[in-house]
Amino acid sequence: MALLRDPLLNKGTAFTEEERDALGLRGFLPAHVFSMQAQADRVMANLRGLTSDLAKYVALNELHDRNEALFFRVVSDNIDEIQPLIYTPTVGLACQRFGYIFQRPRGLFIGPNDRGHIAELLNNWPYPAKLIVVTDGERILGLGDLGANGMGIPVGKLSLYSACAGVHPELCLPVMLDVGTNNEALLNDPYYIGLRQRRLGGAAYDELVDEFMTAAREVFPGVLIQFEDFANHSAFRLLQKYRDKACVFNDDIQGTAAVALAGLLSALRATGGNLNDQRLLFLGAGEAATGIADLVVSAMMAQGASEAEALRRNWLVDSRGLVVKNRPGLSEHKLRYAHEQAPIGDFLTAIRTLKPTAIIGVAAVGGAFTPEVLQAMTEINDRPIVFALSNPTSKSECSAEEAYRHTEGRALFACGSPYDPVQLNGKTLVPRQGNNSYIFPGVGLGAIASGARLVTDEMFMAAAYTLAHLVDEADILQGSLYPALPRIREVSAHIGAAVAEVAYRRGLATGHVPNDLIGHVQSQMYDPHY
């Protein structure tokens, strides 16, 4: 019976006659032995019969809890259809409704009451974790503070690690640092699963995180830790604190940066432009915006620009308008992009003044790329670059259809949430999601395969260039700035090899460089089958 209750070992009706006899399963299962493909077909038939995406999320979650090999087979074989259900945009709704749909705990919940005992708690985990995705739930997507309900994000991210990059699910550990929530609706929600108190802050918060980081590395030596959906005031600080002494990265800062840089490089193949001639205007000035800008600056410098020249080509707009040098009270992460310029209060005026070649939306302000904004970009540029990267869909700056229609089909568009192809003037334009799932699974795979001691910005630069290189001419011609999602395991393998190469070259890896690096990476990829 234990086999049937362990999702890592359960095969359900696919246990063979021989296995049923050898493992004491006789009588627990109906007579017919199904192939894995037949099981997967049944799952998809049932899934397609459900009428809401949230119901599909719940059904897939049930499968994940019951039979992991079958779950990952279904996800891998139907990635276009399933990824939006297990991650953005549906995971946002699932986190908002987490207390209502909660069935079975997955991962570890760690809170202030566990202080002094976090190592013991981590030792309760029965598997040898090599990868932890951790959140405190304070900034879930563009939805804000969802507290412990944000556990859906680490679970979803790790599902993509296994499906998209073949990191074995046994090695993956989702962690929720449940330090409370300032969301009044959740504090008053009878179904809320988390700690019913205001958020822990200050020194007590830092001490909890520090104990977790120390314990995680002691219990799981060499573990890769991904920070996910921390609020700005924690995200930058924690990354700076740990990045030079532990194998950590922040996907919202570094992963988003790499996928955006890759999209920008692909767009320049369509325009024939040079990276150092671009001017980028960001709607948003938080983790994503400054992370992208930092990586773009590094890429411009690698192509010969001075740091001052590169910085001057990246501008931020926040809730108070254009970030400029003489504005008082700027937070530290904005200061690098606070240039000499008269104050400008709105995004449209900033476009008309600065004349950017690209606008990048990462502020989670739905509909912010208005028809006037898109038309202004078209007046300035023959092929305006328009990235509406906020998610879920309700927070997207514009839809694909709006981006193409208001730029006469000339926009080079990438999105944070999935959109269907758009028919315009007899042409089919195929937008692709600038989703971090193109980057972080491969980065994690490469770090694990090489035994990297640190994750560096150079690795994310290598990931971005590798991803851009994998976009083919047919993609570019139809307006797609990223490879087709069904190629994601191939993409992740190449990114993993590029990341591992940096680790070996910089002396950050364990062991000797393999003769066949991509073969070495591919050999470590989990293939879900019986």
How far apart CA 441 and CA 157 sit, in angstroms, is 9
> Tokens at residue 314, please?
């990246």
pLDDT in the model for residue 332: 87
Task: Render pLDDT for 211-263 as a digit per residue (tens, 0 to 9).
Answer: 999 999 999 999 999 999 999 999 999 999 999 999 999 999 999 999 999 99
| Burial profile 425-460: b = 16 or more Cβ within 10 angstroms, e = fewer | eeeebbbbbbbbbbbbbbbbbbbbbbbbbbbbbbbb
Catalytic residue among 57, 87, 438, 465: 87
Task: Render pLDDT for 357-378 as a digit per residue (tens, 0 to 9).
Answer: 999 999 999 999 999 999 999 9
pLDDT in the model for residue 417: 87
pLDDT in the model for residue 299: 97
Percentage of the chain beyond pLDDT 90 is 98
pLDDT in the model for residue 162: 98
Confidence of residue 530 (pLDDT cuts 50, 70, 90): very high
H or E segment to which residue 248 belongs: strand 248-250
Q: Is the pLDDT of residue 180 over 90?
A: yes
Q: What is the mean pLDDT of the chain?
A: 97
In sequence order, which residues have a C-beta less than 8 Å from that of residue 194 and are 6 or more positions away? 109, 137, 147, 148, 149, 176, 178, 180, 181, 186
Task: Render pLDDT for 281-310 as a digit per residue (tens, 0 to 9).
Answer: 999 999 999 999 999 999 999 999 999 999
Tell me, yes or no, if 334 is annotated catalytic: no
Tell me, yes or no, if 157 is annotated catalytic: yes
| Burial profile 476-506: b = 16 or more Cβ within 10 angstroms, e = fewer | eeebbbbbbbebbbebbbbbbbbbbbbbbee
How far apart CA 298 and CA 227 sit, in angstroms, is 22
User: Within 10 Å of residue 202's Cβ, how many Cβ atoms?
Assistant: 7
Catalytic residue among 11, 56, 130, 157: 157
Confidence of residue 77 (pLDDT cuts 50, 70, 90): very high
DSSP letter for 166, please: -
Question: CA 332, 336, 340, 343 torsion: positive or negative?
Answer: negative
How far apart CA 33 and CA 35 sit, in angstroms, is 7
